[in-house]
Amino acid sequence: MQWKKSRAWSYVWLIAVLAMVIAACGSDEPAETTVGDSDAPATTESTEPAEPAFEATSVRIATSPPEFDTITDAYWIQSLEEAGLEVETFEFESSPDTVRAVAAGEGDIINTSPLAIMQFIEASGGGLTVIAVELLKTDYYLMAVPELESIEDLVNGVVGISEPGDISDSLTRVVLEEAGLDVSLIEFAQIGGTGARIAALAAGQIQAGAAHAADGLAAAEEFGLQPLVRYVDYVPNYAQRFLAASPEWLEEHPVLAQFLVDKMIEAQRWAQNNKDAYITLSGEVVEGISPEIRSDVYDLFSEEGFFGINGGMDFIQPTMELEQRQGNLGEEMADLSTWTDSSYVEDYLDRNGEN
């Protein structure tokens, strides 16, 4: 669409207009009048309202509850609010619920796990457009009860997941298969999010379950659970979170959508380059994790290239292909060009460069 080619110029134009308004209002010098027209009426300040920077003053974001791996979301939302936006977040434990909420009109934009978004796009023939990738890796650990000595001991055991189609389900199956296990010999139980799975592990109701790194390692200290494997060792190129909205919302909010992408990428760059600040903010958002674990897990994020410092659009293809191999998406999934739009990320990189 034509506006996408000129978003950056619209920003320049807006800044120029604001600069002229500020200069006119803030000067102590009298306004110039036309020479030779002493009877000209005095000029009065215009009562026309300034054109808004965004097409809306608020945004509703459907996402998941805060975790140590999504501290960038807290920073992102803070930056949006500092810009004058009213931000309302709707938090759901499972990504399919997040997608369903936006599909029902309860949110403007989704920031959640990729599979549910892609499955919705496949089932609806569209409905959502992915415009950025926030996190480029999965930080999951497969946590287990103390009795399990190795991943092979999970045969005939029970593994907890959030729900079928969630990232905890999809990637756990990939990891188990890559480790050489026959997944048909393992029972998968729908438990809930990371917190629920850890509680079920501590109670001995399941033998293993996926947990975000910081939560899993904290549970190892508190409950004697043990980390069997890191998912990133088996699944190196899987985007953990997509930013998506309906084509209609993007059409109506081009400037706001660009701003959301800008601030998301900036949040990722902030995280990559500010370990102490990331850890400090994490202490305000997520409790129950020791400083040592926070430091170790942040180092994992930084060293593995976890943060989407350049928008991460090139991670969409391998993520989709993995889910197709798992049978979670059809082989005839629509071409990426029909349900992704890289112009927002490209616009940002054109103005700010790659990091």
pLDDT of 71 over the 80 cut: yes
| Over residues 301-315, mean pLDDT | 95
Residues 244 and 115: beta-carbon distance below 8 Å = no
Say how far apart CA 164 and CA 143 lie, in whole Å.
19
- Contacts of residue 8, defined as CB under 8 A and 6 or more positions apart, other chains included, come to 347, 350, 351
Say how far apart CA 164 and CA 350 lie, in whole Å.
39
pLDDT in tens, 328-355: 999 989 999 999 999 999 999 999 999 9
Residues 201 and 218: beta-carbon distance below 8 Å = no
Q: Which amino acid is at 182?
A: D
- Contacts of residue 309, defined as CB under 8 A and 6 or more positions apart, other chains included, come to 265, 268, 269, 272, 355
The predicted structure's pLDDT at residue 251: 97
The predicted structure's pLDDT at residue 53: 80
The pLDDT confidence band at residue 117, using thresholds 50, 70 and 90, is: very high
| Over residues 89-103, mean pLDDT | 88
Orientation of helix 213-223 relative to helix 194-202, angle to 10°: 20
The pLDDT confidence band at residue 95, using thresholds 50, 70 and 90, is: confident
The predicted structure's pLDDT at residue 210: 94
Same fold flag, 58-137+239-352 and 140-233: yes
Mean pLDDT estimate for the chain: 85
pLDDT of 42 over the 70 cut: no
**CATH 3.40.50.460 is right for the domain spanning 140-233:** no
The predicted structure's pLDDT at residue 163: 83
Among the residue ranges 43-52, 268-277, 305-314, the one predicted with the least confidence is 43-52
**CATH 1.20.58.220 is right for the domain spanning 58-137+239-352:** no
Cα 302 to Cα 58, 210, 239, 298: the distances in Å are 32, 21, 15, 6
Q: Which residues on adjacent β-strands are paired with residue 211?
A: 141
Domain ranges of the chain: 58-137+239-352, 140-233
Say how far apart CA 191 and CA 205 lie, in whole Å.
10
